[in-house]
Amino acid sequence: MIFEPKIIGFLCYWCAYTGADLAGTSRLKYNPNVRIIKIMCTGRMDPSFVFKAYAEGADGVLVCGCHPGECHYIEGNYKTMNKVPLVKRVMGQLGIETERLRLEWVSAAEGEKFARIINELTDEIRELGPLDYKEILSK
């Protein structure tokens, strides 16, 4: 049986979520492995959201927001740029591959880019295999 990863995507409402919607309305083909959670801004995403996703069974997490300089909340995506490396450092200390977390910028007009990102991330997580978060925490 082929492993199918579960990926949680935190998408900003203004750009990335609209880009994902464009991918859908354009009928672009991409893997159905991502479960999207709409957030108003990636700057509002708390690092605990990533670890909760892993604790609830996610094998990977995608954070998608507006391109730098285009945030509807002025600097939310700059805050995210600073948070993600810190989250990855904690992941590494816990023994979780940092490749399981990906940060991308997707505008409302980039449906094709969104579909490509989903396909790439799904393939990368598939190669890594399932994440046994409970096992990692028990060490």
- 101 falls in which pLDDT band (50, 70, 90)? very high
The β-bridge relationship of strands 101-105 and 7-12 is unpaired
> Is 119 among the domain residues?
yes
Altogether, the residues listed in the chain come to a count of 139
Whether the CB-CB separation of 3 and 130 falls below 8 Å is answered with yes
Give the range of the structural domain holding residue 109, as residue numbers without chain letter: 7-138
> Is 77 among the domain residues?
yes
> Is 90 among the domain residues?
yes
Residues 6+ apart with CB under 8 A from 32: none
> Is 78 among the domain residues?
yes
| 135 CA to centre of own chain | 22
Q: How many domains does the chain fold into?
A: 1
User: What is the per-residue pLDDT for 138?
Assistant: 84
Give this prediction's pTM: 0.96
> Is 1 among the domain residues?
no
- Token couple for 76: 């939310």
> Is 15 among the domain residues?
yes
Q: What is the CATH number of the domain that holds 33?
A: 3.40.50
**Overall average pLDDT of the 20-32 stretch:** 97
